[in-house]
Amino acid sequence: VSDLLILEYEGWILLRLPTDPDPPDEKRGISGYTFAFGNEPDLDRVLHLQPPQTFKPRSHAPQIGVFVQNATRIKEGIKTPIPALQNASVNLLDNPTIENRNWVLTLPGEEPIVPFNMQIIGENIMLRRKAPLDYKNPDTPFWQVSQELINAQGAHGLEFEPGTIGRATGIWDTLAVAKERRAVLAVDLEALEKKHGDPIEITILKARIAQLDIALNANPPNSDRRTAARYFVERFGFPMQGETEIQGDQQATLGGLLATAPVPGWQVYFWIGAWDPDVMCAFMQGSLEIPYQA
Amino acid sequence: VCNLLTAIGESPLFERPNYPLKSPYRSVEAPSSLDAFSVKTLLRFVCFEMPTELNAENHAILAAAIPNFDVKDYDGLAQLYTEIKFLFNHTDPQVLFIGDPKVQFSTGDIIPATSIRGVNLGNAPRYNVQITPVVDVASANHVIEQIMEEGEGASEDDENSHFYKFLQIYQQLTAELARHPNFAPARPVVANPKTNNGTFYSDPRHINVITNKLTNQVSDLFDMAYNTLVLMLLRYFGNANQTQSELDALQYAAFFPFMTAVIRPLGEILTLLPAFQTSRKNPARNRATAGASFELARRAEYLPHSDTAWQVFHMQLQLMVTQAQALSENPRFTADIRNRLTMIYENLYRVLMTYDAKIGLGGTSS
């Protein structure tokens, strides 16, 4: 059995996507329940694991950023911390999107993330690996890849897991969060109107409040997607078998060389959930297992 | 409505005259026409969804907008469904419900969302859609009441009705226009656009044949997609002898992907493309854009032989893939439109690939 490098990571991500039944390339949101309001940038569908460079998330969004919480080497059952990767930033490169295409590729909750190119930047060490849907034919467009391979890398379904969400984020009552958010947005709006603030910002706040009102007035309570979605997770787990790049002195930082062969690959597991459509953020938590070279 | 029809042994019905239509229902004084979003268009929708009784406030709003307004001029749909309900309740059920229950569909058949931790979602609404099988008088009444409550002739102006929603939009738009008279909320689409495909129109006064050749190609693809969808729906709702795999293939192709990922974006693209060839004499006409024709180019009738139907759908999809690919590569379109056409091509390719796999036909070729 090879030694393993295990990275546990978590954090809030930004995911500004149109929602069914809007087409996936709808830029502003029409028929779903997510929208780009006022002068906000177009919906990009991109999973931002780190803060975007070109625009600010909405007010009252959580701090965006996925980071390694624990970096450990396991050798013959003994765990050793790897300080160089503690608090390392985790990112997905090349504008990854959850590809479902209005159920063209998969049912909701079973979609893959395309492309999947994970990067971890620690102290004096950078790990990067791609996970093409078909690692033997990495250039095949995702919409031509066999259903079997898409399903293998897709999520395992939408699961109702309030406990998972509560333990990871501290949020146990999604309606309470929506009520609190509505209250603070109303305060922001009142203050802005009082000082004759930017009419576009005022419009954005009004639109957000209107969306929260739809959720809060739903009957039965919490039956609207805007709040009910908070308790769901999408779980992913697959081997990363594509191109690998490692920068830095592996011996010095990791205590050995990492295996880069396609088989068995690097095993990545994570879930995305706690979706908050008002700020278009979700929580991500998972682990990455990388074998050392024998 | 298809469930109601097939429950009593009738065929599902998708046949209709092409636009513009004269008032399609008795005593509904509102023609059916494809027009740009405007106060006039909105009022037409309000009238279509008119309940049989109005409260004083709503009555006053409409009386101010429509000369000689009388709610009775628009209650044809309510009368129609009231009569249908009466007949369902006064005909011997043994004689009436002779349809095969296998062609009764529920929400989960149309929108097969995954179960949650193995718990079946039952017939709970999804995306505000709820479809209930019709097998007896009680379920028929339930379905008719749902249709009416949602708007097809409701008895009163309920806040959840289509009527109420359209009236709200009407009020918001008229208020906005009062503040900003130049506000133009819609693209300059022509009324009742038609693909220029050699069809003879006996009365061309109220239609607009698309003369821009590039736009016409997109319109042609739209028509093909729309007509294929209708044929698929007929087959889906109409045949009790289809295997589950065949039903899955039709469901997969017809509902979410085709409606939202092919037909809708094609329709949106058409509203951005010029309807007519450039004219020096009439610059205003140059600004006019096309739109979706929703033209039934062939009779929307059931394809009777299964194997033939599967082949027809395969060939239609294959043809659409080829056309969409050619359009997506045409440099005369702007980059934005080419991107959308590329997405449509990819979606069609995938729909065909999955359809073939589910039906058991040969492989997809690009």
Count CB neighbours of B226 within 10 A: 22
Mean predicted lDDT score pLDDT of chain B? 87
Amino acid at B9: G
**Distance to chain B for A271, nearest Cα, Å:** 16
Residues recorded for chain A: 294
Residue with the bigger pLDDT between A40 and B77: it is: A40
**ipTM of the complex, rounded to two decimals:** 0.91
Residue A220 forms contact with B (CB below 8 Å): no
* CA closest to A145 among chain B residues: B350
Tokens in use for B186? Answer: 């819609």
Per-residue model confidence (pLDDT) at position B280: 85
* CA closest to A108 among chain B residues: B113
Quick check: A10 and A294 in contact, CB under 8 A? no
Q: In chain A, which residue ranges form alpha helices assigned H by DSSP?
A: 147-153, 162-169, 174-194, 199-216, 225-228, 250-254
Per-residue model confidence (pLDDT) at position B366: 42
The whole-number mean pLDDT for each consecutive block of 10 residues of chain A, a chain of 294 residues, reads: 93 95 92 95 96 93 98 95 98 96 88 97 98 97 96 92 96 96 98 97 97 92 88 96 97 96 96 96 98 93
Report the pLDDT averaged over residues B51-71: 91
Distance CA B272, CA B288 (A): 9
Select from B115, B116, B130 the residue whose CB has the most chain A CBs within 10 Å, as the one to mutate to test that interface: B116
CB pair distance less than 8 Å for B256 and A20: yes
Q: Which helix (H) or strand (E) holds A74?
A: strand A65-75
Amino acid at A47: L
Of A22, A101, A158, the CB nearest to B347: A101
> What is the share, in percent, of chain B residues with pLDDT greater than 90?
53
Dihedrals phi, psi of A49, to nearest 5 degrees: -85, -15
Residue B343 forms contact with A (CB below 8 Å): yes
DSSP assignment of A243-255 equals -EEEEE-HHHHHS
Of A143, A147, A160, the CB nearest to B346: A143
CB pair distance less than 8 Å for B257 and A107: no
Distance CA B345, CA A36 (A): 26
> Which residues are bridge partners to A81 per DSSP?
A72
Residue B160 forms contact with A (CB below 8 Å): no
Residue B264 forms contact with A (CB below 8 Å): yes
Q: Which residues contact A278 (CB under 8 A, 6 or more apart)?
A: A58, A60, A178, A181, A208, A211, A212, A226
Of A23, A107, A144, the CB nearest to B112: A107
Helix (H, G, I), strand (E, B) or coil at B296: coil
> Which residues are bridge partners to A90 per DSSP?
A66, A120
Distance CA B359, CA B363 (A): 11
CB pair distance less than 8 Å for B347 and A141: no
- In this structure, of B183-197, B201-215, B294-308, the range with the lowest mean pLDDT score is B294-308
CB pair distance less than 8 Å for B256 and A143: no
**Distance to chain A for B178, nearest Cα, Å:** 19
Per-residue model confidence (pLDDT) at position B364: 52
Q: Which helix (H) or strand (E) holds A128?
A: strand A125-130
A vs B, Cβ pairs < 8 A, gives 68
Before B20, cis peptide (omega within 30)? yes
> What is the share, in percent, of chain B residues with pLDDT greater than 70?
90
Question: pLDDT tens across B110-152, in order?
Answer: 777 655 545 556 667 776 778 899 999 999 999 999 888 876 6
Report the pLDDT averaged over residues B146-163: 75
Distance CA A278, CA A171 (A): 15
CB pair distance less than 8 Å for B256 and A102: yes
* CA closest to B260 among chain A residues: A23
Per-residue model confidence (pLDDT) at position B365: 46
| Chain A contacts in chain B segment 282-341 (CB below 8 A) | 339-340
CB pair distance less than 8 Å for B260 and A159: no
CA B163 and chain centroid, separation: 18
**Distance to chain A for B280, nearest Cα, Å:** 34
Distance CA B222, CA B268 (A): 10
Q: Which residues contact B144 (CB under 8 A, 6 or more apart)?
A: B4, B81, B84, B85, B88
Which of A84, A47, A51, A66 lies closest to A9, judged by CA? A66
Sign of torsion over alpha carbons A50, A52, A53, A59:
negative
**Distance to chain B for A101, nearest Cα, Å:** 7
Residue B339 carries which DSSP code? Answer: H
Q: Evaluate if residue B241 carries a pLDDT over 60.
A: yes
Chain A hits for B252, CB-CB cut-off 8 Å, are 103
Amino acid at B271: T
Tokens in use for A285? Answer: 């938590």
Distance CA A116, CA B119 (A): 31
DSSP assignment of B8-58 equals TTPPP----PPSSB---STT----B----SSHHHHHHHHHHT--S---HHH
**Pairing mode, strands B193-194 and B208-209:** parallel
**Pairing mode, strands A47-48 and A4-15:** antiparallel
Tokens in use for A65? Answer: 């950023």
Residue with the bigger pLDDT between B112 and B58: it is: B58
